Amino acid sequence: MSFLERRIKMKKYDLHIHSKFSDGAYSVEEIIDRLKACGIEIFSITDHDNMQSVKAMENVDKKGLIYISGVEVSCEKDGYKMHILGYNIDANNEELIKLLQDMKLRKNLRNLEIIQQLKEKFGIVITREETEKLLKSKNFVGQTTIAKMLTQRGEIPNTQYAFDNYFKYLDLKIPATAQLEQAIRIIHNAGGYAVLAHPISLEKTYGVNIEDIFVMFRDVGLDGIEIFNSKHTLSDIKRYLRLAKKEKLLISGGSDFHGDIMKPNVKLGKISKDNSEKEHHYKMTILSKCIDKNRIKDIYDGDEVEL
Q: Where are the domains of the chain?
A: 3-98+176-294, 112-169
The percent of the chain in helix, strand and coil, each rounded to the nearest 5, is: 45, 15, 40
Q: Please tell me the distance from the alpha carbon of residue 41 to that of residue 18, in angstroms, as a whole number.
A: 17
Give the predicted TM-score (pTM) of the model: 0.88
CA 40 to chain centre: 18
C-alpha 70/C-alpha 17 separation (Å) is: 9
Q: List the one residue out of 221, 254, 199 whose CA is nearest residue 71.
A: 254
Phi and psi dihedrals of 133, rounded to 5? Answer: -65, -40
The strand pair at 70-77 and 80-87 is best described as antiparallel
pLDDT for the residue 266: 86
Check: CB of residue 214 under 8 Å from CB of residue 240.
no
The 10s digit of each residue's pLDDT in 66-97 is 999 999 999 999 999 999 999 999 999 999 99
Rounded mean pLDDT of the chain? 88
Rounded Cα distance, 244 and 232, in Å = 15
What CA–CA distance (Å, rounded) separates 49 from 28? 16
Which residues contact residue 152 at a Cβ distance below 8 angstroms, ignoring those fewer than 6 apart?
A: none
Q: How many Å apart are CA 83 and CA 194, to the nearest integer? A: 10
Question: What CATH code is assigned to 3-98+176-294?
Answer: 3.20.20.140
pLDDT at 1 over 60: no
Number of H helices, E strands in the chain: 13, 9
CA dist., res. 6 & res. 300, Å (int): 13
Segment 264-276 shows an average pLDDT of 86
Q: Is 137 helix (H, G, I), strand (E, B) or coil?
A: coil
Query: What does R_g of the chain's alpha carbons equal in angstroms?
Result: 19
User: Coil, strand or helix: which one is 250?
Assistant: strand
What pLDDT, in 10s, does the model give residues 143-202?
888 998 898 889 999 888 999 999 999 999 988 899 999 999 999 999 999 999 999 999
Scored b (16 or more CB within 10 A) or e, 19-48 reads bbbbbbbbebeebbebbeeeebbbbbbbbb
Q: Answer for the pair 98, 118: CB distance below 8 angstroms, yes or no.
A: no
Q: In this model, does residue 303 exceed pLDDT 50?
A: no
- pLDDT band, very low/low/confident/very high, at 3 (cuts 50, 70, 90): low
44, 81, 209, 307 from 12: Cα distances, Å = 12, 30, 30, 20
Q: Range with the lowest mean pLDDT among 56-70, 160-174, 235-249, 292-306?
A: 292-306
